[in-house]
Structures are given as structure tokens and as C-alpha cells.
Chain A
């Protein structure tokens, strides 16, 4: 189908140009993070003339900055654990059994994944304030369950439906109890699915700003909110802001290799 020689080489021009388009703004962010604020504002250069790690040092030494990362990490990890643990048995139920209202519940879960966070910001604020959880990590972790549990259930259900039912039946005939079958036989079979679900819960909780910002003020303030408040304050330190941005990209960039074949599947809720 593809002709040899120039045509096929020209063909790769499109993806190459696209990747260039994707990487240029990221390169610019990286460049900025290695410049001092004076250099950013006074001269215009395509690469840092005097590369410096000063901006990163500010973040690693100033509690207002690095506590933002710690706070985000805490509630994101809590949310990932809660979401995956709650979603595992639920996804098994949806993939293996028919029960009262199963289709309606499955649809209702989806609507929560699709719901605009803006709708929930104010009621969340009131709900978590009234139960005394405002400005705690667990409040954000629970609030993010709104979209992450449905996401995890849909992804896991997609993976579980790919495992033949005969495996379950054979195990039960061999005398396995449900918990033993689930942990000893079934979980290893869908290990990659659990990894993908955990990855996406982590990611969607990590990238969310509106709810996390609404539910916190000081003690659990996420890095995203620290960044936006620096923007609104007058002392715009672009270098530090860029360095903070680079550091938030790292978690995703580190694990992206392991999930590269599953990214489409995760975004499409396990259905591609």
C-alpha cells in the first residue's frame, strides 16, 4: 500500500511537524525555568544564556512552594487508592452479573465522570465545611472520587470483560472461595488493567484544579492553587512559575512509557 522511497518519508513529515508543534511550548517553559527573572524580562534569547537552577532552589527551599507538591501528592495518592479499591469489586459485578438496575447504575456512574466540576464547586464547599473536613487532604481525595471511581469502574470493567468467564467457573468448581479466587487468580490476570486504572485516577486527580482549590485554603493547598495565586499576585516571578510547571509535568512524563499502549483505552473509558 505504501510506496517505497520519498512518499513514505514525506508521510512521516506530518507526525514530525505535529510533534515539533507539541514540544515547542514545552521547550519554552523549560528554557524559562533555567533563566533568572531579570534575564527573562530584559533580554530575549532562544536558550538560557546563563543557565541557573536558582528557580528550582526557590521551590525546594520555600515551604509555600514545596508543601504544595506534598499536599497534591497526599490527596492524589489517597484518591487513587480509594478509587481503585472501591472500583475493583464493583467492576467485577458489572462485568460478570446482571442485577437490579445494573444498566441504569452504570449509566449514572458515567454521568458523574462527565459532570462539569463547576457545578459541584459550591455544594462541595458547603458539604465539606459542614462536616468539618474543609481544608483537609481527605476532603479533596473524596471529592475527586466523583469522577475517578466511575472512571476506574469503566476502565476495569473493560479489562475484566476480556477475561473469559470459564476461568471464574473453573476456579469455583476447584473450590476457591470468592476472595481467594479474586486475589490469587483474577487480579494477576487483570494486573495491567489495574495499573492503567490507577494511572488514570492519579492523572485526573493530579490535573484537576477547580475542586481542589475550592476545598482548600492553607493546610492542604495543592500546587496548582499555589501557582495560580502567584500569577494573580503582582510580583510575577516567571522563572519560578516556569520551574513549578516543569516539576508538575515530571510525574506524567516518568510513567508515560509504561502506559503508552493503553492511553487511548484509558481516555475512552476502557472501550477502545
Chain B
């Protein structure tokens, strides 16, 4: 769409920009400020330069949390993207089934994150949970509060439960936007189901899949509430992801310097990812086919 040049339009945006600046810039500056200073208490600070950054980037604890975080994000992406795509392909495309599917599938997306944690806590506990009880009944040695493997599996299954629907809904929106003429042409050519998927659906879903991957990666990269409620980062610190670790450091131990330095590093990673997301979003903004009517 063509846009006219008008610098006065900035005034229209100014209330929103001022509010976001107040909530985002001031805290961010505070963080940067703490990240280059040290204190002996009573509000006396002195300059330490890049000391905290060195400490954080070289610390075992940060490496471990970072590695856990990447492993978690990779695991949930590897499950949620193919699963979401498969479900979207099998969903009804017209009739009453569409609304039923959409409403029921979207339900987990709208549940408060701490309640998602509570649901899975109640569902997976060996003593009172349906899942835990059933697994124990089959003789599995399953206890997510003591066994790291069980804790990881519980968190991954919980995230799949919570967020796969987002991938489904995005893929579904992309699928219904494909013009019927493409399918008709494929039928005339006698194309197989696989060929239709490989050469028509997959290329058309390119953009929504990229959006889904980026959204799921970024949101899983800052997961906090669910592991906090279900495992509290344990057993030990086997499920202490970046956000959980950061909150422990900043609010639990009140280590301002290292926590601030870690925040900045964390934020820069997210910034890079956001840039990627932005490029994807705006590059094909003119491509009207990817949009719902």
C-alpha cells in the first residue's frame, strides 16, 4: 500500500510511544546501569566496566541454563511444528466441524500460564493425577519431582499441550487461503496426495510456518511460569531455564550486577531473533495471499 509522507503522524503515535517508553526504556536503562556497576550496599555504586559481563559469559551456571534453554526450545519445536502441520492438514475445511475444532483447540491457548502449570501438576502427580497414577499402574517408575528425565518429559508434553494449537491455527489459516484452482489443476494433472502437499501446500505455507517457528522459539525461550509452578526449576536445577535462573538471581539472591548483565545478554539474543521475525513479517507484507479475508 502506498503511504504519504507526513511527519505530523508521529503525533498520533506519541501517546502510545510515551507509554511504552515509560514502561520499557526506563527499566532497560536501569538494567544497563546496574550491569556496569558494583555496590557495597547503602546505595553507593562504582564503575566496574565489563566485569559482570565477563563473569556471566564465562560462568558455568549461565552456560548450563543457556544449554538447557536451547535444548528445551529445540525439543518443543521438533514436536510442535510437524504435529501442528499434520493436524491442520487433517482438519475439516468446511461445515460445523471447523468451528468446533477451532474453539476446542484454542482453549489451552487462553488458559493463564500458571493454571496450565497447576493443571499439569494435578494431572501428572503420582498420588492424585490421572497420568501419574496410570503410568505408575503400568509399572513405570514415573515421578517428575524426583527424576530429571520425567520432569523434562512432563514439561515438554505440557508445552506441546499448551502451544501446538497455535501452530495448528496458523497453518490452518494458511491452508484455507490457498485458492481452490490450485487443487483443481493438480487433480487434472493427476497429482498424488504427496505431490499436492510437496508442491502446492508446503510452498504456500512457507510464511506461516516461519512465523510459527519464530513465535514458538521466542516464547519458549522466555518460558517462566509453567516450569516455576510445576517443577520450580528442579529436581536440583535440571529444569532451571534462562528466565527461572534470572529471577532466582535477581529477586531471590538480589545479585544486581550479574543479574543485570545476564538480562542485557538475554535481551540482545531476543533482539536478534525479533529482527529476524520483523524481516519475515514485513518482507512479504504485500503478498495478500497469506492473509485471511
Q: Which residues of A line the B interface, CB within 8 A?
A: 1, 11-15, 18-19, 21-26, 28-29, 32, 40-41, 44, 46, 82, 85-87, 89-90, 92-100, 102-103, 105-107, 109-112, 114-127, 142-143, 145-146, 149-150, 153, 161-162, 165, 203, 206-210, 214, 224, 227-228, 231, 238, 241-242, 245, 248-249, 252-253, 256-257, 260-261, 263-265, 267-269, 271-272
B290 at the interface (CB under 8 A from A): yes
A-B residue pairs in contact (CB < 8 Å), sample of 29 = A12-B97, A15-B90, A15-B92, A22-B165, A25-B130, A29-B119, A32-B122, A86-B19, A95-B1, A97-B6, A99-B7, A100-B7, A111-B271, A114-B274, A116-B243, A118-B246, A120-B24, A120-B28, A125-B251, A161-B285, A209-B224, A241-B122, A245-B115, A245-B119, A260-B103, A264-B166, A264-B172, A264-B292, A271-B211
Query: Nearest 7 pairs between A and B by C-beta?
Result: A252-B110, A123-B27, A116-B222, A97-B9, A90-B16, A118-B243, A264-B169
What class of interface size applies to chain B in its complex with A?
35 or more
Known: A116-B221, A116-B267, A271-B285. A90 touches B15 (CB 8 A): yes
Question: Which residue of the partner chain B has the closest CB to A272?
Answer: B173
B28 and A123 within 8 A (CB)? yes
Contact (Cβ within 8 A) A165 B112: no
Residue numbers of B with Cβ under 8 A of A are 1-10, 12-13, 15-17, 19-20, 22-24, 26-28, 30-31, 86-87, 90-92, 97, 99, 101-115, 118-123, 127-131, 133, 161, 164-166, 168-170, 172-174, 183, 186-187, 193, 196, 208, 211, 215, 218, 221-222, 224-225, 228-229, 242-244, 246-247, 250-251, 256, 259, 263, 266-267, 270-271, 273-275, 277-278, 281-282, 285, 290-292
Give CA–CA (A40, B131) in the complex, Å.
15
- Known contacts A19-B104, A118-B246, A207-B112; is A111 also within 8 Å of B270 by CB? yes
Nearest A residue to B125 by beta-carbon distance? A238
Given contacts A119-B267, A264-B172, A271-B281, are A127 and B128 in contact (CB under 8 A)? no
B104:A28 contact, CB within 8 angstroms: no
- Give the residues in chain B near A249, CB-CB below 8 Å: 107, 110-112, 115
- B residues less than 8 Å from A85 (CB atoms): 15
Contact for B5 among A21, A99, A242, A268, CB less than 8 A: A99
A224: which B residues are within 8 A, CB to CB? 112, 114-115
CA distance A254 to B99 in the complex (A): 14
Q: How far is the CA of A44 from the CA of B134 in the complex (A)?
A: 11
CA distance A103 to B281 in the complex (A): 12
Beyond A121-B250, A228-B229, whether A107 also contacts B9 by CB under 8 A is no
Contacts of B109 in A (CB 8 A): 263, 267
User: Which of B5, B127, B292 contacts A98 (CB under 8 A)?
Assistant: B5
Within the complex, the shortest CB–CB distance from B118 to chain A, in Å, comes to 5
- CB-nearest residue of chain A to B278: A107
Asked if A260 meets B6 with Cβ closer than 8 Å, knowing A142-B23, A242-B122, the reply is no
B225 and A209 contacting across the interface, CB-CB below 8 Å: yes
Tell me the minimal C-beta distance from B21 to chain A in angstroms.
9
Do A209 and B113 touch across chains, with their CB atoms under 8 A apart?
Answer: yes
**B133 cross-chain contacts in A, Cβ below 8 A:** 44
Residues of chain A contacted by B196 (CB below 8 angstroms): 1
Contact (Cβ within 8 A) B27 A19: no
List A contacts of B225 (CB < 8 A): 209-210
CA distance A122 to B113 in the complex (A): 20
CB closest residue in chain B, given A11: B90
* A107, A142, A146, A271 interface centre (most CB from chain B within 10 Å): A271
- On whether the beta carbons of B122 and A28 are closer than 8 Å, the reply is yes
Contact of B13 among A94, A98, A120, A260 (CB under 8 A): A94
User: Are B13 and A26 neighbours in the complex by a CB distance under 8 Å?
Assistant: no
